[in-house]
């Protein structure tokens, strides 16, 4: 019998018991829908984590000052300035795994526009910082290296600051604003970056040239960097290498003996990011595993019903054998029936799962991630379930003795 004919016979047999076929298929529907929805939830969470870490910057390392030790009290990292401007220059120019390095000095300050004022974080840096953070300027332009060299009084505003000082959607480029009462020209507006993984608003910030920062906002030691050095490695894989190179370079430059502790600290943010991603991946796997169990239960439902069906249709099997069906024709017929149930259930399940994923994404504010590989996998797996759980009943049917089958009441 041809495949097409076998399929038609299977469809007809399933149509004879519509309610039962529906309920049996429902097991697979729920299983597949669960897999799809769960993976979508996991992926949504992962994408969100990835997005937040991407917002922090790409392949980023943070080099911090060392700790102070005064009168037996150890200060935290950054309490003892050890990083010099020459260290920064060396990191920028001498290391192969480093793409970009920029200083970052922070202070909180009161900002004034013509009609409003707002307390925010003022950060002194160089244009390279925007590349380290993968941060775009959406209006106006970034300040330049010559602004840094000349200590120009220009500022880049974060979106939150623009909103507070000028109102949302305003274009403040060219306006004069005051930071700690020092007038600055707004050079540009930064792209919206959202929140940090810890809830901090990245957009509530004003960036100014680091030289201007030292002269006008916060004084302090001129030869040391009283902040951090933000470093971007050449690639995600290179962050470890960059970290090792920076450590070696700084130990050498600071003339630390082999048994001395580092007088600086390097934070590898991509490690935090990958740890977070590992966490969400584990979550996704767990959810998918739970969902797979429900698919398995659906498969057992199919097997159960197929066994019932074989018993019920024993006479039919006998008649088919009497008119010339071979054992493999019978086996194929029941196998195709189980397969049809499970694959049809799988396809409906994909639809349902996507629907659920959509609703959940809307509820949590995630983007919907339709993963064709997962859909194929789920449908393929449901087919596999059909074959695996349909095999035994089909074998049982094909091994019936035609005489006994014909006499079966």
Partner 1 sequence: MDRPALVQLKDVTKIYRMGDVELVALRGVSLEIAQGEFTAIMGASGSGKSTLMNLLGCLDRPTAGSYLLEGQDISVLSNDQLASLRNQTLGFVFQSFNLLSRTSALENVELPLLYSGVPAAERHQRARESLVRVGLGDRLHHHPNQMSGGQQQRVAIARALVNRPRVILADEPTGNLDSRTSVDVMALFQALGRTGITVLLVTHEPDIAAYATRVVTMRDGLIRSDQRQAQKAAVPLPDGTEAHP
DSSP secondary structure string for all residues of 224-249? B-SSEEEEEESSGGGHHHHHHHHHHH
Task: State both tokens at 111.
Answer: 């900002």
How near is the Cβ of 332 to partner 1 at its closest, in Å?
Answer: 11
Smaller CB separation from partner 1, 259 or 409: 409
Quick check: 119 and 108 in contact, CB under 8 A? yes
12 near partner 1, judged by CB under 8 A:
yes
395 near partner 1, judged by CB under 8 A:
no
Smaller CB separation from partner 1, 12 or 222: 12
Q: In whole angstroms, what separates CA 222 from the centre of its chain?
A: 41
Regarding beta strands 205-209 and 117-125, do their DSSP bridges make them parallel or antiparallel, or are they unpaired?
parallel
Smaller CB separation from partner 1, 8 or 89: 8
The 3-state DSSP composition of the chain as helix, strand, coil percent (nearest 5) reads: 55, 20, 25
9 near partner 1, judged by CB under 8 A:
yes
Please list, in sequence order, all residues whose beta carbon lies within 8 angstroms of the beta carbon of residue 369, skipping any fewer than 6 positions away: 40, 43, 44, 47, 357
Quick check: 32 and 349 in contact, CB under 8 A? yes
Residue choice 42, 299, 318, 386 for contact with partner 1 (CB under 8 A): 318
Smaller CB separation from partner 1, 266 or 327: 327
Among positions 274-293, residues that touch partner 1 (CB under 8 A) are none
Among positions 321-380, residues that touch partner 1 (CB under 8 A) are 321-329
176 near partner 1, judged by CB under 8 A:
no
Smaller CB separation from partner 1, 15 or 73: 15
How near is the Cβ of 390 to partner 1 at its closest, in Å?
Answer: 20
**Piece in contact with partner 1 (CB under 8 A), picked from 56-64, 66-74, 219-227, 315-323:** 315-323
Smaller CB separation from partner 1, 145 or 311: 311
Q: Strand, helix or coil at 352?
A: helix
Smaller CB separation from partner 1, 89 or 326: 326
Quick check: 402 and 322 in contact, CB under 8 A? yes
Residue choice 315, 362, 364, 376 for contact with partner 1 (CB under 8 A): 315
Give the C-alpha separation, 313 to 324, whole Å: 17
400 near partner 1, judged by CB under 8 A:
no
41 near partner 1, judged by CB under 8 A:
no
Quick check: 382 and 295 in contact, CB under 8 A? yes
Smaller CB separation from partner 1, 5 or 74: 5
Give the C-alpha separation, 71 to 244, whole Å: 32
How near is the Cβ of 320 to partner 1 at its closest, in Å?
Answer: 7
Q: Tell me, by CB under 8 A, how many residues bind partner 1.
A: 23
How near is the Cβ of 400 to partner 1 at its closest, in Å?
Answer: 12
Give the C-alpha separation, 301 to 259, whole Å: 67
Quick check: 241 and 59 in contact, CB under 8 A? no
Quick check: 114 and 178 in contact, CB under 8 A? no
16 near partner 1, judged by CB under 8 A:
yes
How near is the Cβ of 282 to partner 1 at its closest, in Å?
Answer: 51
CA nearest 228: which of 56, 65, 95? 65
Residue choice 320, 348, 353, 393 for contact with partner 1 (CB under 8 A): 320
Smaller CB separation from partner 1, 199 or 324: 324
How near is the Cβ of 304 to partner 1 at its closest, in Å?
Answer: 22
Strands, E assignment, 241-386: 264-268
Among positions 206-235, residues that touch partner 1 (CB under 8 A) are none
DSSP secondary structure string for all residues of 33-53? HHHHHHHHHHHHHHHHHHHHH
- In the complex, which residues of this chain contact partner 1 (CB under 8 A)? 1-2, 5, 9, 12, 16, 315-316, 318-329, 402-403, 406
């Amino acid at each position: 019998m041809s495949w097409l004919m076998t399929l038609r016979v299977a469809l007809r047999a399933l149509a004879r018991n519509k309610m039962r076929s529906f309920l049996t298929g429902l097991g697979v529907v729920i299983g597949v829908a669960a897999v799809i929805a769960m993976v979508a939830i996991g992926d949504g969470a992962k994408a969100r984590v990835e997005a937040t870490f991407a917002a922090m910057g790409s392949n980023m390392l943070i080099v911090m000052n060392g700790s102070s030790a005064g009168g037996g009290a150890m200060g935290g990292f950054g309490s003892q300035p050890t990083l010099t401007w020459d260290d920064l220059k060396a990191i920028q120019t001498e290391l192969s795994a480093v793409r970009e390095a920029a200083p970052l000095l922070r202070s909180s300050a009161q900002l004034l526009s013509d009609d409003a004022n707002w307390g925010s974080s003022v950060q002194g840096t160089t244009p390279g910082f925007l590349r380290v953070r993968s941060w775009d300027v959406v209006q106006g332009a970034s300040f330049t290296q010559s602004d840094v060299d000349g200590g120009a009084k220009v500022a880049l505003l974060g979106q939150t600051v623009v909103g507070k000082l000028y109102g949302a959607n305003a274009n403040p480029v060219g306006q004069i604003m005051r930071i700690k009462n020092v007038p600055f020209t707004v050079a540009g507006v930064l792209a919206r970056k959202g929140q940090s993984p810890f809830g901090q608003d990245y957009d509530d910030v004003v960036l100014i040239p680091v030289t201007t920062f030292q002269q006008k906002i916060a004084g302090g030691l001129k030869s040391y960097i009283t902040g951090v050095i933000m470093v971007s490695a050449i690639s995600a894989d290179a962050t470890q290498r960059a970290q090792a190179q920076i450590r070696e370079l700084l130990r050498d430059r600071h003339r630390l003996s082999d048994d001395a502790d580092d007088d600086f600290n390097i934070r590898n943010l991509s490690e935090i990011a990958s740890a977070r991603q590992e966490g969400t991946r584990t979550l996704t796997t767990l959810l998918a595993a739970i969902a797979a169990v429900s698919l398995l239960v659906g498969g057992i439902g199919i097997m159960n019903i197929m066994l019932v069906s074989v018993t019920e249709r024993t006479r039919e099997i006998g008649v088919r054998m009497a008119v010339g069906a071979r054992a493999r024709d019978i086996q194929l017929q029941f196998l195709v029936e189980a397969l049809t149930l499970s694959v049809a259930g799988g396809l409906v399940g994909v639809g349902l799962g996507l629907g659920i994923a959509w609703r959940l994404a809307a509820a949590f504010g995630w983007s919907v991630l339709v993963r064709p590989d997962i859909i194929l996998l789920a449908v393929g797996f449901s087919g596999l379930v059909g074959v695996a759980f349909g095999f035994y009943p089909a074998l049982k049917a094909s091994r019936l003795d035609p005489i006994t089958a014909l006499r079966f009441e």
